[in-house]
Amino acid sequence: MSLRVQNLTKEYGDTTALSDVSFDIPDGSFAVLLGESGAGKSTLLRILNGLTEPTTGSVYVDDQKITNSRSDVGMVFQQHNLVDELSAYDNALTGTFNRTGFLRSLLNLQPTEDRELALEALDTVGLLDEAGQKVDRMSGGQQQRVGIARALVQQPALLLADEPVASLDPASAETVMTYFRETAKTRDLTTLASLHQVNIAREFGERFIGLKDGNVMFVGSRSELTPAVLEEIYGEIQTEELREGTEAADSNEPTQSETTNIGAEL
């Protein structure tokens, strides 16, 4: 599904969190939302997910206006929001809640096709062999991949992620982002992830939206995301060792990238 944001403004009293924000994300694209803390990234994602009403402006998914929370818009959170006592498989199954309902989910009465979807989603993120493991025994990176699997079980047409690797070490962050990108590619799934780390964003993103103080500063491709543009978004940062970025790999196996420059990881 394509995503179109048109003249979006969100005000909280005298505070303007977003000001006349407009951009488009083509169907199947992997886009990254950039900006400092407080730039408006989380507010924008909540509006896109239908969890927050804009003050003015509109959001369209495949030209259909979003007016409330939709089951075909999946969300991956920074803090995972998993049930520690449940296995990876059971956590993935909670992505069927909107279809199955609370009582049937509580009694573990999901239909066979949903159970198969949960296993397929765990396989997509490389955790099929760990399906029976309780998530409180998993690493942070594995837990985040369970969160991605849960969102995939929801069968979204649009996948959103709010700082999905902010709490992870660099190696785990690389792994999680690789699965994000591969999932978007293999499933033709339009994806928008907010990221704090510039190098990771440049490596994995195809399209970029830069926010500063609630305003759109940049919309464009990786080649257009120059050091000058990054300084406009973030202010003065070290850009000497910014990654050039890579194309999506042919396989689903994560690749290890070189060590990042600390100054470009904001």
pLDDT of residue 137: 94
Q: Hey, what's the torsion of the CAs at 89, 92, 97, 99, to 10 degrees?
A: -90
Report pLDDT digits (tens) over 75-86: 998 877 899 999
Least confident of 62-66, 88-92, 139-143: 62-66
> What is the pTM (predicted TM-score) of this model?
0.82
pLDDT of residue 51: 87
* Average pLDDT rounded to a whole number, residues 101-129: 83
Q: Which helix (H) or strand (E) holds 35?
A: none
Report pLDDT digits (tens) over 169-190: 889 899 989 988 888 888 899 9
Report pLDDT digits (tens) over 187-236: 899 999 999 888 899 999 999 999 999 999 999 999 999 989 999 998 87
With b meaning 16 or more CB within 10 Å and e meaning fewer, what string describes 198-216? bbbbbbbbbbbbbbbebeb
Q: How many helices (H) and strands (E) does the chain have?
A: 9, 10
* Average pLDDT rounded to a whole number, residues 55-62: 92
- Maximum separation of any 2 CA atoms in the chain, in Å: 55
pLDDT of residue 247: 47
* pLDDT mean across residues, the chain: 85
- Distance (Å, whole) CA 111 – CA 109: 6
* The CATH number of domain 1-72+162-169+187-266 is 3.40.50.300: yes
Residue spans of beta strands (DSSP E) within 72-214: 73-76, 158-162, 190-194, 207-212
Q: Between vectors from CA 173 to CA 214 and to CA 233, what angle results, nearest 5°?
A: 25
Is residue 50 within 8 Å of residue 65, measured between CB atoms? no
Q: Quickly tell me which residue has 């399906």 as its tokens.
A: 131
Given a cut of 60, is residue 266 above it in pLDDT?
no
**Distance between first and last Cα of the chain:** 31
Given a cut of 60, is residue 242 above it in pLDDT?
no
* Average pLDDT rounded to a whole number, residues 49-56: 91
Residue 65: both structure tokens together: 């206006």
218: left (phi over 0), alpha (psi -120 to 50) or beta: beta
Given a cut of 60, is residue 265 above it in pLDDT?
no
| Confidence band for 264, pLDDT divided at 50, 70 and 90 | very low
* Average pLDDT rounded to a whole number, residues 11-20: 96
pLDDT of residue 237: 64
